[in-house]
Structure 1
């Protein structure tokens, strides 16, 4: 079998270029689209935390770009989601979904997550070669979030395909088309659930009818799409990146294999080291502000490079070292502020359960190809492997 060609250097390792940029300035000018529209990229840790929590940086980007002649044609369920909104709308929508991802709610899901993980891993035997991404990192979070939302098993392959397309880099028509496919599917699923109600999270959102819990039809579809996509895409990359990091650091791998109870604490360092979301979604300045000593006028798009911030030596000494003894709880892999990832408890549970199972079942797991031959997805915003060949 022919191995994939060597990936471009930035896909292989974006952290060295980020370090060079950060040494010059923690806030960099950067075009935000192919037309060269000016924007800012935040790569310093302190500046990232400040930007992520600054109310002057609005997330209502649909209104911003629509007013400037954007040629993008994303479905409103994607372009005007909870993620792309400000208070009070964001506060109301987030309150509705937060209860599904509390520590207690996720604890109830853990037996199901463990069972699915075991069923997926049973397909391979020790010493056998398999693709960790295709074999576990993709299907596990897809199955979990689809089960939570009540998406039928027969539809999950389509859901995964549309979701992957939504993050395609350099293919706006593909992204726009996928947004309509996903929104259309969720509209139909909601219609079906009204006729045949169940007890899924989506059923509960449909049933919300009073006070702040009342959702418009557009809000309902938008929340469903966001939960479905965000509920598995980032976790897939989290799992792949974490396992790769451990395979490239045998001492850390051996330590967690021998001491699996350390895995929950190790998740923060793994998330810091190579987070699944490399760059947060757009914000824009509603008024002039200063960030990292850089003057940002009103009306400028701003993106925060979460991966770069997590490797800032001012906050994390020797940041390119995977150090399981490091206190990495202040990482920004899940964001920061009011938009911090609502599904973080679920992602952590899936990560812990998956790592425990993999290290227990395959204690000798190792890379099946040289690291430079690994294939990375060419995506917008997220950072993850297209495949991870391993010898179990």
Structure 2
């Protein structure tokens, strides 16, 4: 990590070296303190929380606010770059950017549409999509698993849940990639209104002519005469789209990557398929799909372990780092699919715990299990040549080249 000497206290800058190997930086940070100020790639100063106990506390403690209305003045105070990004406002007024009681109200309405029963009903369709995608690569000796399976499966599932027609999905994928990366302001400022405009029309269409999809249920969900308004629905559609596919792409691809780098674990999973649910939990812990949780800010001075963070500071909890904390997970740097499951923070913690966790687990189990049923698989590129996305939010590979050999009739 580079050091910024323009500050009275030199700040570590999270740049390309960090994105390719965040674990080395996190390990050093956990040794040093519970949290420290760092500079994000575009010049925003934040406190990065690296340890498990302190991270878990920050994810759930109401002194760490997620109210988007409080973000702008803090951005102006802590931004040291030259070109701030203007983000489309109608995409940010969702429950992940709110505190109780607003969050409580929105989550209650969303939960009415996003039930466990509805998610479980998706199982046959998720299996069908997975089979079709793996059929399509049957004649290839080598393929990019991100493009072939990890990306199209969750994007298809979430677009069907939102009732988005196939011909519009490439636009959604492009807008989502730009907005999640967030590091090219001119692209963000074009993609945001395009996404919002499309979703506005989608809300109108579902209100006038609801389908059997989950988003139609959300548009019409009520609780004591309360319902989500137009902007809240646009924001929630955006949140479901991004959270519902970006993370699962990484869960699938990175999970397979971890298996390929640890062939003895792959052999265990092949020999005993009952290990699959636990393996998915280890994928999430060892190299989870989220690097740092979304923005919070301190509403008062807060002490985390050995560090006191003043009021009015941005705080990012590194889920990736917390899940490698030796004080919570013995031998945390070892990938072990037989590790006792549970306790990881890959889906967050507290009132903002990921609503889509059951769907992500379902897709991860079906995708990886079906892949291993149908193919022997090997990495088709030297591990050191694989590149990770330059994102403080997402932890994911750009590509995963693999060699596939059919395992015979299913």
Which bracket does the TM-score occupy, shorter chain normalised? over 0.9
Of 298, 301, 305 in structure 2, the residue corresponding to residue 288 of structure 1 is 301
Deviation at 1:28, TM superposition (A): 1.1
Measure the CA separation in 1 of the matches of 2:223 and 2:140: 56
Correspondence for 1:308 among 300, 315, 321: 321
RMSD over aligned CA atoms reads 1.9
Matched with 1:253 is 266
Question: Which among 385, 388, 395 is matched to residue 376 of structure 1?
Answer: 388
> Structure 2: 5+ residue runs without aligned partners?
1-14, 405-410
Inter-partner Cα distance in structure 1 for 2:226 and 2:371:
40
Residues 251-291 of structure 1, C-alpha deviations (whole Å, 9 max, x = no match): 11111112112101221111100000000011000011101
Are 2:38 and 1:30 aligned?
Answer: yes
- For the Cα contact (< 8 Å) 1:193–1:203, is it kept in 2? yes
Q: Does 1:274 align with 2:281?
A: no
Which residue of 57, 68, 74 corresponds with 1:61? 68
Residue 11 of structure 1 corresponds to 19
C-alpha contact (below 8 Å) 1:306/1:335 kept by paired residues: yes
What corresponds to 1:20 in structure 2?
28
Number of residue-to-residue matches in the alignment: 384
Change (3 A) 1:230 1:274: same
* TM-score computed with the length of structure 2 as normaliser: 0.89
In structure 1, stretches of 5+ residues that fail to align are: 1-6
**What is the CA–CA distance in structure 2 between the aligned matches of 1:68 and 1:26, rounded to whole Å?**
23
C-alpha distance in 2 between matches for 1:354 and 1:68: 40
**Separation in 1 of the partners of 2:254 and 2:69?**
31
- CA deviation after TM superposition for structure 1 residue 127, in Å: 6.8
TM-score between both structures, scaled by the size of structure 1: 0.93
User: Of the candidates 125, 131, 140, which is equivalent to residue 153 of structure 2?
Assistant: 140
In the alignment, structure 1 residue 96 sits paired with structure 2 residue 104? no
Bigger mean CA deviation after superposition, 170-179 or 313-322:
170-179
Q: Which secondary structure state, in structure 2, belongs to the residue aligned with residue 324 of structure 1?
A: coil
Could you tell me which residue of structure 2 aligns to residue 344 of structure 1?
357
Q: Is residue 47 of structure 1 aligned with residue 59 of structure 2?
A: no
| Cα distance change of structure 1 residues 49 and 127 upon mapping to structure 2, 3 Å threshold | same
Give the whole-Å Cα distance in 1 for the aligned partners of 2:46 and 2:390.
21
Note the 1:200-215 alignment, pairs <5 A.
200-209=213-222, 211=224, 213-215=226-228
Structure with more relative contact order (C-alpha pairs < 8 Å, separation 6 or more)? 1
> Take 1:145 and 1:92, find their aligned partners in 2: how far apart are those partners?
23
1:378 positional shift: 2.0
1:270-313 Cα offsets, whole Å, 9 max, x none, are: 11000000000110000111012211111111000000110011
Contact kept? 1:280, 1:303, Cα under 8 Å: yes
Relative to structure 1, the CA distance from residue 33 to residue 256 in structure 2 (aligned partners, 3 Å threshold; closer, same or farther) is closer
CA distance in 2, matches of 1:38, 1:357: 43
Asked if residue 163 in structure 1 is aligned to residue 187 in structure 2, the reply is: no
SS at match of 2:308: strand
Q: Runs of at least 4 residues of structure 1 off by over 6 A?
A: none
Distance, in Å, in 2 between the alignment partners of 1:83 and 1:283 is: 10
Once residues 209 and 61 of structure 1 are traced to their aligned partners in structure 2, the CA distance between those partners, rounded to angstroms, is: 24
